[in-house]
Amino acid sequence: MASKTDSTNRAAVSSPRAVAARPLLNLGQARQLMGLFKVFANDTRLRLLHALVREGELCVTDLAEVVGMKPQAVSNQLQRLVDRGILSARREGINVVYRIEDPCVPVLLERGMCLIECCPE
């Protein structure tokens, strides 16, 4: 992922006009974007991300309780998000605490929720 400053700037200036001004995606960029969307294309991961947007930081036990799953299953999903640089994790005593690393993630979730509210199935 990009540096925190770069991510903050991207989240702040991101707009449909900014996207339209970019050159058309090349095949490599399209595949990278597809890979990123595949990471988000999981109901558990989306719920975990939303919980972290709402709360800021949560440990595995709390996240498991929020989504109604076993901590081991939640931990596996969180690791995928950490591996992609979407989340960061830190040890706090016996707990591992997770938080969203990139400020573009809440923006993406908000826009996705906007799409489902504006264009329901």
Mean local confidence (pLDDT), 63-75: 96
User: Could you give the CA distance from residue 30 to residue 15 in angstroms, rounded to a whole number?
Assistant: 19
pLDDT digits (tens, 9 = 90+) for 27-40: 999 999 999 999 99
10 Cβ contact list (under 8 Å, min separation 6): 2, 104
Give the DSSP letter of residue 91: E
Q: What is the CATH number of the domain that holds 34?
A: 1.10.10.10
Report the percent of the chain where pLDDT is more than 70: 88
Full residue range of the structural domain in which residue 41 is found: 4-118
The phi-psi region of residue 68 (left if phi > 0; otherwise alpha if psi is between -120 and 50; otherwise beta) is: left
- Number of structural domains in the chain: 1
